Homo-oligomer: A and B are copies of this chain.
Amino acid sequence: MKLASLPQGRDGRLIVVSDDLAWYADADHIVPTMQGLLDDWDRHCPRLEALAIELAHEAIPRKRFHEREACAPLPRAFQWVDGSAYVNHVELVRKARGAELPDSFWTDPLMYQGGSDDLRGGREPISLANESWGCDFEAEIVVVTGDVPQGVTPQQAINYVRLVGLVNDVSLRNLIPGELAKGFGFVQSKPASHFSPVFVTPAGLGAAWVGGKLNLPLMVDLNQQSFGRIEAGEECTFDFGVLIAHLAKTRRIGAGTIIGSGTVSNRDADGSPGRPVAQGGRGYACIAEQRMVETIANGQPVTPFLKNGDTVRIEMRDAKGRSIFGAIDQVVGQA
């Protein structure tokens, strides 16, 4: 089942979207908002699944779905945390900051608590007040959980995944070193994140969703050029079960918690950091990685961070080439 929110009030109104993203049916008569659904999933889900089947069979009135009209599936959430499933990414961006990767990072997930009061749609511009902040995109997979009890195991945790989607976890790279040096994580260096127009249930992902990983390539374009074609199911050190269990070690987790994978990242076949797409590699899901690889090769980065007017597109397609979550497709614009 595919779900989205259209703009209405602060929390949007829930719709069910057809598998091909072409049509939708209103769902707010069943439950008004995505958060309301997550608050009482077992009660509402069967009726929404029935609605999705009627939509697929054209048995009910349907309307044209336009990705550009959707807001974030959860325009605000009670929790957004971001993990580090792809340790290759962590190693590269730490190298770029001159920081070593501790061995423990391969067994103990990095995770940061993010701001969730203002989550934005995939077609909204990236609001950037100051280009000198070093704005970067980070393309990631996210899951949304139900209520998770404290102390769940990774195996149990996977069962609490209600929805899966994509995020552009926008980062202000030039503010990060100063902020991380203070030791308390990200506040100013992580502005609003942007989410894919559509979130999908694990069952709706079919065989691509296995063991808390999504085995499909993540497609990232910068200014209409292919920037990354990264396999999200490969080199994913921590599946979402591990990330959820990490978060739930010392506290229970509330319904509607969004957990990110961290920037999707692959090494090259020979074990070195991946090559750019233009050089036959899989490329990158953020600019910082490409800059680091350029620095390793030539002593300095070449690719600039985002400037006003740049465009970013993040999408995932199934084996038949059909968009799964719709595309995050946005321009960088003055705040």
DSSP majority for the A interface? loop
Interface size of A in residues (CB-CB distance below 8 Å): 51
What are 17 contact pairs spanning A and B, CB under 8 A?
Answer: A10-B255, A76-B254, A79-B115, A79-B117, A110-B184, A111-B184, A112-B185, A117-B253, A118-B254, A150-B335, A183-B183, A183-B185, A184-B186, A187-B246, A187-B247, A188-B247, A189-B250
Residues of B near A184 (CB, < 8 A) are: 110-112, 180, 185-186
In the complex, the answer to whether A115 meets B251 with C-beta atoms within 8 Å is yes
Residues of B near A188 (CB, < 8 A) are: 246-247, 249-250
Q: 7 closest Cβ contacts across the A-B interface?
A: A185-B185, A117-B254, A112-B184, A79-B117, A78-B117, A113-B113, A191-B251
Distance A81 CA – B186 CA, assembled complex (angstroms): 11
Distance A129 CA – B151 CA, assembled complex (angstroms): 9
What's the minimum C-beta distance from A45 to chain B, rounded to whole angstroms?
A: 17
A182 at interface (Cβ–Cβ under 8 A)? yes
In the complex, the answer to whether B250 meets A113 with C-beta atoms within 8 Å is no
Distance A297 CA – B39 CA, assembled complex (angstroms): 51
Residues of B near A191 (CB, < 8 A) are: 250-251
A205 at interface (Cβ–Cβ under 8 A)? no
A133 at interface (Cβ–Cβ under 8 A)? yes
Residues 72 to 99 of chain A near chain B (Cβ within 8 Å):
76-79, 81, 99
In the complex, the answer to whether A118 meets B251 with C-beta atoms within 8 Å is yes
What's the minimum C-beta distance from A300 to chain B, rounded to whole angstroms?
A: 25
Q: Could you say which of B102, B108, B113, B335 contacts A114, with CB atoms under 8 Å apart? A: B113
A80 nearest CB neighbor, chain B only: B113
What's the minimum C-beta distance from A167 to chain B, rounded to whole angstroms?
A: 15
The residue among A99, A189, A252, A255 with the most chain B CB atoms within 10 A of its own CB is A252
Residues 41 to 65 of chain A near chain B (Cβ within 8 Å):
none
In the complex, the answer to whether A185 meets B113 with C-beta atoms within 8 Å is yes
A208 at interface (Cβ–Cβ under 8 A)? no
In the complex, the answer to whether A78 meets B81 with C-beta atoms within 8 Å is no
The residue among A105, A191, A249 with the most chain B CB atoms within 10 A of its own CB is A249
What's the minimum C-beta distance from A273 to chain B, rounded to whole angstroms?
A: 21
